[in-house]
C-alpha cells in the first residue's frame, strides 16, 4: 500500500518546480500519513481505502497546482488591457485584410464574391494568429518583468475622467470609417500603385480638369482617417468629438452631392475589360445617382448622430 502512496507523491513531484519539490512533497506526505494513521486506528485501511483517499486529494497535476500554481500567460489583472489590445489589433488586421482584398478586386477583370470572401477570411486568420502569438508573448514577458503593473497603475486624475462614460464609442463604427477612408485613398491615388497599363483597365477614371476633386477628397479622407485612428484610443464620446463626427459625415455628403450635380467628373477609359464594359453599360449612367444616394445616407447618419449627441 505504501508503494501506491510513493507513486502518487512521485507523480505530484514530477509536476512541481525542481526547487520546491522537496518542501512540498514533505508537507504533502506528512498530511497524507496523518490521514492514513487515522484510518488505521479505525481498522479500515486497505488498498481500496488508500486509493479512495488519494482520489479525494485530486489528480497529481491539480495537487501540484494548488501548492505551486503556474504563472498564467496573462494575469487576471491584465485581462482588460489584453482584451482591448487584441480587439483593436484584430480590427486593424481586418482593415488591412479587407484593403488587400479590395485592392485585388480593383485589379481583377471580373468580380468573384466567393473568391473575395475566401481570400479575406484566410488573410485575416493568418494575420490574427500571428498577432495573437505576439501579443500573448509580450504580455507574458512584460508581466514577469513587472511592466504591466506599471501600465495598469499609470497616473490618472479624477478631472480627466470622461464626462459621459456611458456614451461608449463603437469599435465597429471606427473600423468601418477607417476602412472606407483608406479604400477611398487607394482609389484616388491608383496612379501611385498601379501601372499605366493597369490604369487603362480601371472601370472609372477622373475626367480631364477634374483633378481638384482628387485633392479635395484626399484632404478630407486623410483627416477622417486620423480621426478614426484617434477614436480607437478613446472609450467614450465627448461633445466636441461627436460634433467632429457629424461634420465628417456632412463634409463628404456635400462633396459627393457636388460631384453628382457637377456631372462629367468620370470618363470611360479607352481600354475596357469585360467586367469594366459591363459596368459602363449598366451602371455608368447611374454614377450621379449613386453619389447622391451616398450623400443622402451620410446626411441621415449625421442627423442620427446629432440626436444621439443631444441625449448626452
- DSSP secondary structure of 237-277: --HHHHHHHHHHHHHHHHHHHHHHHH---EE--SS--HHHH
Domain check: are 215 and 259 in the same one? yes
Kindly write down the DSSP assignment for every residue of the chain, as one continuous string.
-HHHHHHHHHHHHHTS-GGGHHHHHHHHHHHHHHHHHHHHHTT--SHHHHHHHHHHH--HHHHHHHHSPPPPSS-GGGHHHHHHHHHHHHHHHHHHHHHHHHHHHHH-SS--HHHHHHHHHHHHHHHHHHHHHHHHHHHHHHHHHTHHHHHHT----GGGS-S-TTSBPPHHHHHHHHHHHHHHHHHHTHHHHS-HHHHTT-S-EEPTT-HHHHHHHHHHHHHHHHHHHHHTT-SB--HHHHHHHHHHHHHHHHHHHHHHHH---EE--SS--HHHHHHHHHTGGGHHHHHHHHHHHHHHHHHHHHHHHHT-
Residues 260, 96: Cα–Cα separation, whole Å? 30
Distance CA 162, CA 158 (A): 9
Contact criterion met (CB below 8 Å) for 179 and 98: yes
- Please give the Cα distance from 28 to 22 (Å, whole number): 10
170/249 same-domain check: yes
Q: pLDDT: is 225 or 159 the higher one?
A: 225
Contacts of 124 (CB under 8 A, 6+ apart): 93, 94, 97
Q: What is the spatial distance between Cα 204 and Cα 191, in angstroms, rounded to a whole number? A: 13
What total number of domains does the chain contain? 3
Last residue of a domain, one of 155, 184, 207: 155
Check whether residue 183 and residue 283 sit in a common domain. Answer: yes
Structural domain boundaries enclosing 122: 72-155
Domain identity same for 130 and 170: no
Let me know whether 10 and 116 are in one domain: no
Higher pLDDT, 155 or 223: 223
Are 308 and 170 members of one domain? yes
- pLDDT averaged over the chain? 80
Select from 45, 67, 89 the last residue of a domain: 67
Q: Assign 127 a pLDDT band (cuts: 50, 70, 90).
A: confident
For residues 55-87, b (16+ Cβ closer than 10 Å) or e, as one string?
eebeebeebbeebeeeeeebbeebeeebeeebe
- Which of 16, 51, 67 corresponds to the end of one domain? 67
Residue 155, Cβ density class (10 Å: 0-12 exposed, 13-18 middle, ≥19 buried): exposed
Residues 81 and 152: their CA atoms lie apart, in Å, by: 8
Q: Which of 31-35, 201-205, 227-231, 275-279 has the lowest mean pLDDT?
A: 275-279
Q: What is the mean pLDDT of residues 156-162?
A: 68
Claim to verify: residue 188 and residue 298 sit in the same structural domain: yes
213 neighbors 206 (Cβ within 8 angstroms): yes
Of all residues in the chain, the percent with pLDDT exceeding 70 is 79
pLDDT in tens, 220-246: 999 999 999 899 888 888 889 999 999
pLDDT at 279 over 70: no
- Which residues are registered as beta bridge partners of 206? 266
pLDDT score recorded for residue 254: 94
Nearest to 298 by CA among 176, 175, 169, 164: 176
Tell me the pLDDT tens digit for each residue of 9-19.
999 999 888 88
Per-residue confidence band for 119, with pLDDT thresholds at 50, 70 and 90: confident
Is there a single domain that holds both residue 284 and residue 208?
yes
Domain co-membership, 47 together with 166: no
Mean predicted confidence (pLDDT) in 290-302: 90
Amino acid at each position: 500500500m505504501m508503494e501506491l502512496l510513493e507513486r502518487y507523491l512521485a507523480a505530484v513531484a514530477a509536476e512541481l518546480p525542481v526547487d520546491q519539490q522537496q518542501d512540498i512533497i514533505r508537507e504533502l506526505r506528512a498530511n497524507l500519513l496523518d490521514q492514513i494513521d487515522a484510518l488505521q486506528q479505525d481498522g479500515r485501511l486497505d488498498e481500496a481505502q488508500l486509493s479512495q483517499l488519494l482520489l479525494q486529494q485530486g489528480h497529481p497535476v491539480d495537487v501540484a497546482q494548488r501548492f505551486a500554481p503556474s504563472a498564467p500567460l496573462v494575469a487576471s489583472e491584465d485581462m482588460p488591457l489584453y482584451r482591448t489590445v487584441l480587439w483593436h489589433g484584430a480590427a486593424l488586421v481586418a482593415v488591412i485584410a479587407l484593403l488587400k482584398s479590395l485592392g485585388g478586386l480593383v485589379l481583377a477583370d471580373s468580380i468573384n464574391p466567393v473568391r473575395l470572401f475566401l481570400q479575406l477570411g484566410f488573410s485575416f486568420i493568418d494575420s490574427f494568429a500571428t498577432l495573437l502569438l505576439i501579443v500573448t508573448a509580450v504580455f507574458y514577458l512584460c508581466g514577469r518583468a513587472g511592466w504591466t503593473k506599471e501600465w495598469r497603475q499609470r497616473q490618472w486624475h479624477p478631472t480627466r475622467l470622461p464626462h459621459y462614460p456611458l456614451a461608449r464609442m463603437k469599435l465597429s463604427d471606427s473600423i468601418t470609417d477607417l476602412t472606407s477612408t483608406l479604400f477611398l485613398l487607394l482609389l484616388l491615388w491608383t496612379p501611385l500603385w498601379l501601372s499605366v497599363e493597369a490604369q487603362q483597365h480601371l472601370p472609372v477614371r477622373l475626367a480631364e480638369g477634374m483633378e481638384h476633386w482628387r485633392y479635395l477628397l484626399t484632404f478630407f479622407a486623410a483627416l477622417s482617417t486620423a480621426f478614426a485612428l484617434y477614436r480607437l484610443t478613446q472609450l467614450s464620446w465627448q461633445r466636441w468629438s461627436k460634433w467632429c463626427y457629424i461634420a465628417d459625415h456632412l463634409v463628404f455628403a456635400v462633396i459627393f452631392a457636388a460631384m453628382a450635380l457637377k456631372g462629367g467628373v468620370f470618363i470611360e477609359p479607352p481600354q475596357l475589360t469585360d467586367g469594366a464594359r459591363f459596368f459602363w453599360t449598366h451602371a455608368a449612367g447611374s454614377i450621379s445617382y449613386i453619389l447622391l444616394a451616398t450623400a443622402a445616407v451620410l446626411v441621415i447618419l449625421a442627423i442620427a448622430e446629432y440626436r444621439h449627441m443631444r441625449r448626452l
